[in-house]
C-alpha cells in the first residue's frame, strides 16, 4: 500500500511525525514484506520559513519531503487553489492507495478535495481512487467564522476513513451522518509526538538562553535541566485572525497581558501574522523585544517577545510554565498532557476534552475576563486526567487500521 502523507503548516508536522514513526516500526517487523506500507511526505509549503517549518523537520527527525509544493502565503482562496493545482499532478504521478491529511489547515481541505475526485485507470481497465484519510477528524467549534471550522467540516465530509482524538468528535460525526464504520477513535498523534520527545526537550537550554534558569555547571555535567531551579514565568501565543487582526480586540488582549506581566514575566514567541499586526497597529513599543542572545532582563515583570521557537525549545518552555495563555488548538492539548494551566483566549473550543478532563479554561477576548481567568488559574491546584487513548499509541492504532484496510482491499473503493 502506498500512502501520501500531507503536511503544510506548523501544527501538521507534529501530527505526521507520529504516523511516520508508526509506519517505520510496522515496516521493520511486518511479514510478508508485501504488507509494508510505503509512504511519501508531501509538504505543501503553506508554512515555508525556517522558524515555521524547516526547524520542525529537523527537531522531529522527519524524512525530507519527497515533494514540496512551495505554495507560500495568499488569501484563503488563492492559497487553497494553488495547493490544489500543484497537488493534482503529484497524485497522478504517484497514484497512491491513500492520501492522509491531518488537522484543519488550508492544506488539509485542498489535498482532501483533490484526492476525492481523482481517478486512476489500471491496466486491467478498472478505475480506482485513493482513500481519503483524515487524522484529527470530527472536532467542531461550531464557529463558522473560523476558517479552520470550514476546513474540518468539508474534509470530514470527503473522508473515507476518519481518525478521531476524543469522544465528542465521534458524536459530532455521527450527528452529521458519517457512517460509524468509517470512524475510528485512536487517540491523539500530537500527544504521541509530545510524549516521544519529552526527554529530548528536557535537554533544551532554552530556559538558560532566556535567563530563566541558571546555566548548568559545565565541568560536572551532572546538573541536568530539570534539577536546577527555574524562575516563575508564563507563556503566551496568539495568531488567530479574530484576536490579532482587529486592532481594538488586539489592544484589549495586550492590555491584559501587560497587566499579568507586571507580576509574572510572560514569554511570547511571536507568530509572523501577529508580529505584522503589532507593527501595523503601532503596539510593538509596549512589548520588550528579545533578539538573538538577549535574555529576560527583569525576572519579575514584562511581556517579552521573541521569534517563534523550534519544537523542542517550545516544549521545554511550555513544560515549566506556571500558566499558558493561548488561542492555539494544539497548545490546549499539549498543556493538558503536561498538566500546565491553560487559559484559552477564545469563546469556544473544538477540543472540549481539554476543558472537561484537562487544564484548559475558555475566557473570551476581553481584558477583564482574561485577567480574571488567569488569576483564578494561577491559584487553583491543577488536577488533569489523561483523556482516553492520549497515551502515545495513536500512530500505531492508525497504522493497524490502514493495514487491515489494505488486507481487505484491493479494494471496495473502485468507482463505478
Chain contacts with ligand UD1 (rule: CB under 6 A): 9-11, 46-49, 52-53, 73, 104-106, 147-148, 239, 271-273, 276
Q: Is 239 assigned a catalytic role?
A: yes
Residue 220: CB minimum distance to ligand UD1, A: 40
Using the structure block, give the residue that is written with the C-alpha cell 515555508.
48
Residue 281: CB minimum distance to ligand UD1, A: 15
Measured from the CB atom, the residue of 56 and 304 that comes closer to ligand UD1 is 56
Measured from the CB atom, the residue of 172 and 328 that comes closer to ligand UD1 is 328
* Catalytic residue of the set 26, 134, 184, 239: 239
| Distance between CA atoms of residues 211 and 229, nearest Å | 12
Residue 345: CB minimum distance to ligand UD1, A: 14
Measured from the CB atom, the residue of 97 and 148 that comes closer to ligand UD1 is 148
Residue 89: CB minimum distance to ligand UD1, A: 22
Residue 107: CB minimum distance to ligand UD1, A: 7
Measured from the CB atom, the residue of 144 and 383 that comes closer to ligand UD1 is 144
Measured from the CB atom, the residue of 174 and 276 that comes closer to ligand UD1 is 276
Cα 139-387-206 angle, rounded to 5 deg: 90
Measured from the CB atom, the residue of 232 and 272 that comes closer to ligand UD1 is 272
Q: Are 326 and 344 in contact (CB under 8 A)?
A: yes
Measured from the CB atom, the residue of 94 and 104 that comes closer to ligand UD1 is 104
Measured from the CB atom, the residue of 350 and 396 that comes closer to ligand UD1 is 350
Residue 48: CB minimum distance to ligand UD1, A: 5
Q: Are 340 and 303 in contact (CB under 8 A)?
A: no
> For residue 61, is it left (φ>0), alpha (ψ between -120 and 50) or beta?
left
Residue 42: which of 62, 21, 22, 18 has the closest Cα? Answer: 62
Residue 239: CB minimum distance to ligand UD1, A: 5
Task: Encode the chain in three state secondary structure.
Answer: CEEEEEECCHHHHHHHHHHHHHHHHHHHHCCCHHHCCEEEEEECCCCCCHHHHHHHHHHCCCCCCCEECCCCCCCHHHHHHHHHHHHHHHHHHHCCCEEEEECCCHHHHHHHHHHHHCCEECCCCCEECCEEEEEEECCCCCCCCCHHHHHHHHHHHHCCEEEECCHHHHHHHHHCCCCHHHEEECCCHHHHHHHHHHHHHHCCCHHHHCCCECCCCCCCCCCCHHHCCECCCEEEECCCHHHHCCHHHHHHHHHHHHHHCCCCCEEEECCHHHHHHHHHCCCHHHCEECCCCCCCCCCCCCEEEECCCCHHHHHHHHHCCCEEEECCHHHHHHHHHHCCCEEECCCCCCCCHHHHCCCEEECCCCHHHHHHHHHHHHHCCCCCCCCCCCCCCHHHHHHHHHHHHHHHCCCCCCCC
| Distance between CA atoms of residues 160 and 116, nearest Å | 9
Q: What is the set of active-site residues? A: 239
Amino acid at each position: 500500500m502506498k500512502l501520501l502523507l500531507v503536511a503544510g503548516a506548523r501544527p501538521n508536522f507534529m501530527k505526521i511525525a507520529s504516523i511516520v514513526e508508526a509506519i517505520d516500526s510496522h515496516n521493520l517487523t511486518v511479514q510478508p514484506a508485501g504488507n509494508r506500507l510505503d509512504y511519501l511526505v508531501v509538504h505543501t509549503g503553506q508554512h515555508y520559513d525556517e522558524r515555521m517549518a524547516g526547524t520542525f523537520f529537523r527537531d522531529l527527525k522527519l524524512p525530507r519531503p519527497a515533494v514540496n509544493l512551495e505554495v507560500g502565503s495568499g488569501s484563503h482562496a488563492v492559497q487553497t487553489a494553488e495547493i490544489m493545482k500543484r497537488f493534482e499532478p503529484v497524485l497522478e504521478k504517484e497514484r497512491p492507495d491513500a492520501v492522509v491529511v491531518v488537522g484543519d489547515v488550508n492544506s488539509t481541505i485542498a489535498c482532501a478535495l483533490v484526492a476525492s475526485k481523482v481517478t486512476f485507470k489500471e491496466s486491467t481497465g478498472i478505475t480506482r481512487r485513493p482513500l481519503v484519510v483524515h487524522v484529527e477528524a470530527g472536532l467542531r467549534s461550531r464557529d463558522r467564522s473560523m476558517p479552520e471550522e470550514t476546513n474540518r467540516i468539508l474534509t470530514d465530509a470527503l473522508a473515507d476513513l476518519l481518525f478521531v482524538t476524543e469522544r465528542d468528535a465521534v458524536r459530532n460525526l455521527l450527528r452529521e451522518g458519517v457512517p460509524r464504520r468509517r470512524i475510528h477513535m485512536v487517540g491523539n498523534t500530537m500527544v504521541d509526538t509530545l510524549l516521544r520527545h519529552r526527554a529530548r526537550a528536557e535537554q533544551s537550554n532554552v530556559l538558560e538562553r532566556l535567563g530563566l534558569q541558571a546555566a548548568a555547571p559545565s565541568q560536572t555535567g551532572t546538573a541536568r535541566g530539570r534539577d536546577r531551579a527555574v524562575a516563575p514565568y508564563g507563556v503566551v501565543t496568539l495568531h488567530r485572525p479574530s484576536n490579532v487582526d482587529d486592532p481594538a480586540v488586539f489592544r484589549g488582549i495586550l492590555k491584559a497581558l501587560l497587566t499579568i506581566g507586571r507580576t509574572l514575566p510572560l514569554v511570547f514567541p511571536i507568530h509572523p501574522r501577529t508580529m505584522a499586526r503589532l507593527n501595523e497597529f503601532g503596539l510593538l513599543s509596549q512589548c520588550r523585544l528579545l533578539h538573538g542572545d538577549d535574555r529576560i532582563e527583569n525576572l519579575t515583570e514584562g511581556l517579552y517577545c521573541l521569534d517563534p521557537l523550534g519544537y523542542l525549545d517550545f516544549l521545554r518552555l511550555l513544560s515549566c510554565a506556571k500558566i499558558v495563555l493561548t488561542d492555539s488548538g494544539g497548545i490546549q492539548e499539549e498543556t493538558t498532557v503536561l498538566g500546565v494551566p491553560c487559559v484559552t483566549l477564545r469563546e469556544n473550543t473544538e477540543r472540549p476534552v481539554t476543558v472537561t478532563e484537562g487544564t484548559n479554561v475558555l475566557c473570551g477576548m476581553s481584558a477583564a475576563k482574561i485577567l480574571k481567568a488567569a488569576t483564578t488559574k494561577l491559584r487553583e491546584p491543577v488536577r488533569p486526567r489523561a483523556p482516553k487513548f492520549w497515551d502515545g499509541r495513536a500512530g500505531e492504532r492508525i497504522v493497524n487500521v490502514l493495514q487491515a484496510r489494505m488486507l481487505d482491499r484491493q479494494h471496495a473503493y473502485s468507482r463505478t
